[in-house]
Structure 1
Amino acid sequence: MSICVKCGGRKLLCGLRRCPIEDRVAAFKIALRRSWGLEVFGSTPPAAVVGEAGWPAVSVYFGEPPDVFGEEARFYDDPTSMWGLPLEEIARRRSYMAFGVKRAKSPWELGELPYVYISAKPVDVEMRFAKAPLPQIRFDLFEKPMGPRAPLERARVVENPSVPPPLDRLIWDDVSASEAAVELYARGVDIYTIQRAFSLGLLGARHRRRLVPSRWGITAVDVAVGNWLAGRVRTLPEVGGILYGYGEYLDNRYLVAVVPGPLRFVYLERWQSGGEVAEILVKEDVRGARSAMDGGFEAARVALLEKLASMGRRGSVAVVRWIGEGYYVSVGNWQIRETVRRIQLRPMDEEYRRYVERVGRDPLDLLPRGRALTDFLS
């Protein structure tokens, strides 16, 4: 932070193209000016974050953009609506939202608010804070940007939430949370709605319902859904040859290879900072055993299993995620999932080479020098 004090947002001593603190502060100022002191009225995107500190009693952050209503609110925190926006715009929108904070252990302590934040459509909510909301500026790759926050005194829900029927039924059922997540996904419920329901403690054995920190809940749902998809993909015919795919977003670049063979995964994450490169390697064998638990790997895995299932093929999968210095604020693992979902797998043929010319870089350059992507599967 000392370099920020010296810079004041003017000299860009950190080497970034724009000052992230200035961008965030500008969004904070707009939100605070329009939130009319202790009260905020708007629609939920929906945006709910369950914290980790002090679990099982944790802080739950309920967010909404002041004076933004209806479908427009989705663009403040809905992954499928936000994908494609630049990093600065995503951070600005998240920073504009005001968050009311309540501390609890179970969903039953939060009244009707958990149902608001699993609604299939935005819901108008009026929030009153116990004190004026204050901005907090943190920049790391674990916490998403958040706007001004304050203890929530009360919330008035103006309209009824629209909870997907399969989810509404399972909220009152007594099956395990993982089973419920898989059933909901198989019935076509959006994976992000399932993740919020899981974190807000709305799934699982009713006598053991607890709030689950968002980072844990997101990965748990990816694991459960991914394992279910893997069970289906393992019995499919092999791919006919080596397939490659490439995608990029927010200075994250993804290279994927699928080769004939049993279903297994190798995930290499490479972080670029100055002239230094740090790496994380995760391997999953044919039985589904992982060498490490990593949220980024699980997000990429579920997206690729969806793709293989839709192709009706299986194979051994290698993924390289290259993270550049332009990704200076985390937006969450949704950007991994959504970018990989959009990757097209194709043979390494003339069409692929034309694609490389069009994007202006060879995706194979993301690999460590002297290594082929398929080497990681040997």
Structure 2
Amino acid sequence: MGYGKLAKGVSEKEAKRKLERVMPSSNRKKHFQGKTPSIFVGSHNYPKVNTGILSPQHLANPEMMDSPKNWYSEGFSIEKVASLRTSLVNSKKKFKVDEKDNFLSHTQEVAMARKPVDVEVELEKKPGANISGGRVKPVSASGNVEEFILGENPSVERKVEKMFYDTDAKAETAVKELHGKGIDNYKIQQSFTAGMLGEESSRELVPTRWSITATDDIISKNIRDKTIKDYQELGQIEYYNNEYMGNEFHIFLIPGRWEYELMELKRPGSVWNAAANTYIAQNYESYSGRTDYAEETAGAFYATRLGIMEHLRSRKRQAKALVIREVKPEYWAPLGVWVIRETVRNSFNDGEIVENFENVKFRIGNQFKFLYNRIKNKSKILEGRQTSLQSF
């Protein structure tokens, strides 16, 4: 979700102003060399989109510039991540999504690379500051490419390269195969964005924010349908809690066949809510899954589902999952759904057994007080499963 569409949230001007406070104050250059960790494809004016390679103009550790797992494990603050990301320059050109070009070939090499790649860039003029972000990690400066040179032959991820040359496999099949072979979902997402996956006739650039959600959706659905639904049901109600960057997750795993519900409580003053009252968003899927996009919770729905699926698969169990995400005022910059994905993934280190379903409701009521009735009335799992869960 781009800054112009922060539903129920702060204005574009306010979001940018807050990020500008932590932007590195450095002289931007027209010509520079550096190591690029990733690519970026915009969605504005689709199907003719800006396609760029991200790289720092000054000395930096490029491997940390696009490394959500490390950001989480090292406890990076919002300020730290925002500072890293806004130090990157998006060296871009505009293409139709099905167009072919040498620059696009370079973006594919970067997307396949095992590690950041040396590049030399000449822009048409010094890059200007124009922060973009939302569902994706924020980026500040950008400029149109006049000349672009790869400074090395990248060492590529062979499994990704193999799928790149498989022009008969559909994109969804390619994503599943790469995940099954142990390729990290962040690398798969980059390959998807660069138009490297799928049948030759249908390959095209995919805006980064779309490819993130598509990758989370494809992988988590595959885990759900191919493994989770065959597993034994969980034997007790379990509660897990984790918080990072003002995003607190309350996760209840409940005995039964797979169902999943995400409720988001967006507190006043958080990046998603400039109003005076807490805004509640909700999306649900039954055992058979969804047939439409999760409009209210958007990319958060799919990033959360992936983390839960990975946990259940590791235990060879299935369950109903009720997740409440509380977005607090401390979350003042939209850094992307990686925050959600990594927070959920790391929620399952220490859980509690909840005696019965009444205690689930009590715990939620005790945590959210006067908001409980609004939560209960909006929730399908809380409202619809009370009777059948009396025995737990």
1:115 aligns with: 109
Change (3 A) 1:196 1:228: same
Q: Report whether the alignment pairs 1:235 with 2:236.
A: no
Q: 1:364 to 1:224 in 2, by over 3 A?
A: farther
1:19 deviates by 9.9
Q: Does 1:365 align with 2:361?
A: no
Q: Within 5 Å, which residues of 2 pair with 1:128-167?
A: 128-137=122-131, 141-142=134-135, 144-167=137-160
2:195 paired with 1:201: yes
Q: 1:137 to 1:213 in 2, by over 3 A?
A: closer
Given that residues 131 and 141 in structure 2 are in contact (C-alpha distance below 8 angstroms), is that contact kept between their aligned partners in structure 1? no
Assess if the C-alpha contact under 8 Å between 2:365 and 2:372 holds in 1.
no
Structure 2 unmatched runs, 5+: 1-9, 270-275, 356-362, 386-392
Kindly indicate whether the alpha-carbon contact (under 8 Å) linking 1:101 and 1:152 is maintained by their aligned counterparts in 2. Answer: yes
Shifted more, 277-286 versus 101-110: the winner is 101-110
Alpha carbon RMSD of aligned pairs, Å? 2.6
Q: Which has the higher contact order (CA 8 A, sep 6+)?
A: 2
- 2:77 alignment counterpart: 86
| Separation in structure 1 between the aligned mates of residue 211 and residue 50 of structure 2, nearest angstrom | 15
Counterpart residue number, 1:40: 32
Partner SS for 1:234: helix
Asked whether 1:252 is paired with 2:247, we answer yes
Are the aligned partners of 1:50 and 1:214 in contact in 2 as well (CA < 8 Å)?
Answer: yes
Q: Please say if residues 219 and 295 of structure 1, whose CA atoms lie closer than 8 Å, have aligned partners that are also in contact.
A: yes
* Deviation sequence 1:141-197 (CA, Å, 0-9, x none): 446421211101122111222222111011011211111001000100010010011
SS state of the match for residue 151, structure 1? strand
Structure 1 312/67 Cα, relative in aligned 2: closer, same or farther at 3 Å?
same
2:136/2:337 contact within 8 Å kept? no
Partner of 2:20: 24
TM-score, normalising length: structure 2:
0.81
Change in CA separation of 1:157 and 1:141 when aligned onto 2, cut-off 3 Å: closer
Secondary structure of 1:167's counterpart equals helix
Q: State how 1:1-378 maps to structure 2 within 5 Å.
A: 21=17, 24=20, 27-30=23-26, 33=27, 35=28, 37-44=29-36, 46-68=37-59, 72-83=61-72, 84-104=75-95, 105-106=97-98, 108-109=100-101, 110-137=104-131, 141-142=134-135, 144-173=137-166, 174-231=168-225, 232-273=227-268, 275-289=276-290, 292-293=293-294, 294-344=298-348, 346-348=351-353, 365-366=367-368, 368-370=371-373, 375=382, 378=385
Distance in 2 (CA, whole Å) between partners of 1:243 and 1:290 is: 28
Is contact 1:318–1:377 with CA below 8 Å preserved after alignment? no
Q: CA 1:26–1:303 in 2, change beyond 3 Å: closer, same or farther?
A: closer
| Structure 1 unaligned spans of 5+ | 1-13, 351-360
Q: Deviations over 1:234-273 (max 9, x none)?
A: 1101111001111111111101001110011011011111
- TM-score of the superposition, structure 1-length normalised? 0.84
Q: Would you say the 8 A contact 1:40–1:98 is kept in 2?
A: no
Residues 266 and 278 of structure 2 are in contact (CA less than 8 Å); yes or no, is this contact kept in structure 1? yes
Tell me whether 325-334 or 263-272 shows the greater mean CA deviation: 325-334
Identity of aligned residues (%): 27
Q: CA deviation at 1:111?
A: 2.5
Q: Distance in 2 between matches of 1:107 and 1:157?
A: 20
Does the CA-based 8 Å contact 2:123-2:144 persist in structure 1?
yes
Q: 1:213 to 1:63 in 2, by over 3 A?
A: same
Q: How far 1:348 sits from its partner (Å)?
A: 2.9
Secondary structure of the residue aligned to 1:330 is: coil
Aligned partner letter, 1:113 = T
Residues 39 and 364 of structure 1: CA distance in aligned 2, closer, same or farther (over 3 Å)? farther
Q: Which amino acid aligns with 2:30?
A: L
Once residues 107 and 193 of structure 1 are traced to their aligned partners in structure 2, the CA distance between those partners, rounded to angstroms, is: 22
Contact 1:241 1:347 in 2 (8 A): no
Q: Count residues with an aligned counterpart.
A: 344
Per-residue deviation, 1:24: 2.4
